[in-house]
Amino acid sequence: MVVAPMKSYADLTRNDPSRFKSFLQRRRLRDAIRLGSEVANARRVVDYGAADGEFCKLLAAQFPDAGIWCFEPCAALRSEAVENLRAVDRVTVVDSVSSIASGSCDLLFCMEVLEHLPPEGVEQTIAQIRRLLQTGGIAVIGVPIEIHGSALLKGFFRMTRRYGAFDARPGNILRASAGFPPPSRPISELESGLPYHHEHLGFDHRPLRERLRREFTLVRTAGSPVRWLGALLNSELYFVVRKDA
């Protein structure tokens, strides 16, 4: 595997030169907060795979009485989170999910994480989410939509930036837009020991939805940035799940 160079997380997402991409990245955070705020009296909140900690700043403002854990396994991203959260109280940055006690949280967010992981990483993450949630706890799991019309629109955008790359090849884009994303995705490492799919193309949220249904109660599904569009033409999809006994 090859360790890929990294820009700052902010530059890759909410500070992207494209105003539209920047808008979508910021909007997905607000939509996740909205879904999480529907859980009354959240007192212990986890951001699982928190990147640079920007979302934890929003969580601290939304849940002023809650303790918040910011879990990020990548050292470079975790350093960004520590700096970003330096002035924010009640947020604990951790490098290992084992630092968080089982059944200790009533609300968990896992966003823009599962689409980057190989199958064994997805299974480990789902198991950890279940371990961390208390009975009746809620998880908001956000993933990109990379099939059908969304794949076509995103594909055109990517081709303007990096034509010929895996996620910007006409054949791969057409397969995904037809509902059959390319099954073999390039894998590198986020850092040593952390296998990682950098490209979103090739991810399919449909098997994940069924996997989550086997482990949790699926409370609702919501799209972003336009709620009523669902998975039709949105860029992001949220699965709100509950851990039952």
Domain residue limits at 231: 9-146+185-242
Please state, rounded to an integer, the average pLDDT across all residues of the chain. Answer: 91
The verdict on residue 163 lying in a domain is no
pLDDT: which is higher, 66 or 230: 66
Digit-coded pLDDT (tens) for 71-96? 999 999 999 999 999 999 889 999 99
Whether 57 maps to a domain, the answer reads yes
Is 166 a member of any domain?
A: no
Degrees, nearest 5: CA angle 25-28-34: 150
Tell me if 158 is assigned to some domain. Answer: no
Q: Per the domain annotation, does 118 fall within a domain?
A: yes
Our count of domains for the chain comes to 1
CATH code, 45: 3.40.50.150
Is 189 among the domain residues? yes
Instruction: Give a yes or no: residue 17 inside a domain.
Output: yes
Asked if the structure places residue 156 within a domain, the reply is no
Q: Tens digit of pLDDT for each residue in 2-26?
A: 334 457 776 677 667 777 777 878 8
Q: What's the pTM?
A: 0.92
| Mean local confidence (pLDDT), 46-65 | 93
Per-residue pLDDT averaged across 105-124, rounded?
Answer: 96
